[in-house]
């Protein structure tokens, strides 16, 4: 390849044991764009997302072929340091997963493990991250209370803040707003727009309007195949593939 894409996926196949979950995925994503992944439940969106920061390595019996490159560097190469890869390619999971610690410690966890010790610096990171994730006002008076006492939506925003605190390059977001009320959803969507200036964002969503509102490019997955990737406007007005049109117009899925 001549030009350098932020993310370049080619001939990617993934098997859960005998279950062939991803078929020959080809995709390129440029820096500072928001890519939306859409498709019916079980089509492999989360699985694909997790190949980008090697979270699938944790699952027994997963086999992967093909290549994924971030900044031209092969993610599955033998010399790849998984820990620094995950630091650069961070993830917000489909289900919120705060640590059983205080809100403050949750956010400070990432910076701490990466070597930040100064209280003042940590304080500043915690406040900035929580503000970015539109959670600061709700929790600023109880930073030392357990994060498990937050509501589901607050927990999800906490997880977003926790990720922002480590300042990755690429944000993988697996349905980050599925548990949020419309107002926090809006806040998170606004957040993605500001983050775009510095990050590359890949977001899985079941919400067509959301994909149309916030993303630059959209990829449609079906049964483990990537049906098509195109500019979001194009996908939602005049997709190339009939199946894409059927899906976004609600005729199936």
251: partner contacted, choices other proteins, Mg ion, ligand ATP, none (Cβ within 5-8 A by kind): none
> Residue 200: beta bridge partners?
170
Residues 206-225 that bind ligand ATP (CB under 6 A): none
Footprint of ligand ATP on residues 43-82 (CB under 6 A)? 43-47, 59
Q: Which residues contact 215 (CB under 8 A, 6 or more apart)?
A: 34, 35, 36, 203, 232
Minimal distance, residue 85 CB to other proteins, in Å = 8
Strand residues in the chain grouped as ranges (E): 7-16, 19-29, 34-38, 62-70, 73-74, 89-92, 170-174, 200-204, 217-222, 225-231
Tokens of 149: 């006492």
Q: Which is nearer to other proteins, 113 or 121 (CB)?
A: 113
- Mark residues 144-183: x for contact with other proteins by CB under 8 A, - for none: xxx------------x--xx--x-x---------------
Question: Residue 154, CB half-sphere, CA atoms under 13 Å: how many?
Answer: 16
Is 226 a binding residue for ligand ATP by CB under 6 A? The answer is no
Query: Smaller CB distance to Mg ion: residue 46 or 210?
Result: 46
Is 252 a binding residue for ligand ATP by CB under 6 A? The answer is no
Cα–Cα distance between 102 and 35 in angstroms, integer? Answer: 33
Q: Smallest distance from the beta carbon of 223 to ligand ATP, in angstroms?
A: 9
Write out the two tokens for 198.
């510095």
19: partner contacted, choices other proteins, ligand ATP, Mg ion, none (Cβ within 5-8 A by kind): ligand ATP
Name beta bridge partners: 102.
Answer: 146
Least distance to other proteins from the beta carbon of 234, Å? 32
Q: Binding residues for ligand ATP, per CB under 6 A?
A: 16, 19, 21, 39, 41-47, 59, 94
């Amino acid at each position: 390849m001549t030009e350098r894409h932020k993310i370049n996926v080619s001939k990617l196949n993934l098997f859960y044991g005998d279950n062939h979950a991803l078929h020959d995925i080809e995709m390129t994503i440029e820096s500072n764009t928001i890519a939306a992944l859409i498709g019916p439940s079980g089509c492999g969106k989360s699985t694909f997302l997790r190949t980008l920061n090697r979270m699938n390595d944790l699952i027994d019996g997963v086999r992967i072929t093909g290549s994924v490159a971030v900044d031209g560097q092969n993610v599955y190469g033998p010399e790849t340091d998984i820990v620094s890869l995950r630091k650069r390619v961070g993830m917000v999971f489909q289900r919120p997963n705060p640590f059983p610690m205080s809100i403050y410690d949750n956010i400070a966890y990432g910076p701490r493990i990466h070597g930040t010790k100064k209280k003042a610096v940590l304080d500043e990171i915690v406040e900035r991250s929580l503000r970015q994730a539109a959670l600061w006002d709700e929790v600023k008076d109880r930073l030392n209370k357990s994060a498990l006492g937050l509501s589901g939506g607050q927990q999800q925003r906490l997880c977003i803040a926790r990720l922002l605190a480590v300042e990755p390059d690429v944000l993988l977001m697996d349905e980050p707003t599925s548990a949020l009320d419309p107002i926090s959803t809006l806040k998170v969507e606004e957040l993605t727009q500001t983050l775009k200036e510095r990050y590359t964002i890949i977001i899985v969503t079941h919400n067509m309007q959301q994909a149309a509102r916030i993303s630059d490019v959209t990829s449609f997955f079906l049964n483990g195949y990537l049906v098509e990737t195109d500019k979001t406007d194009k996908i939602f007005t005049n997709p190339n593939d009939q199946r894409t049109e059927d899906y976004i117009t609600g005729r199936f899925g």
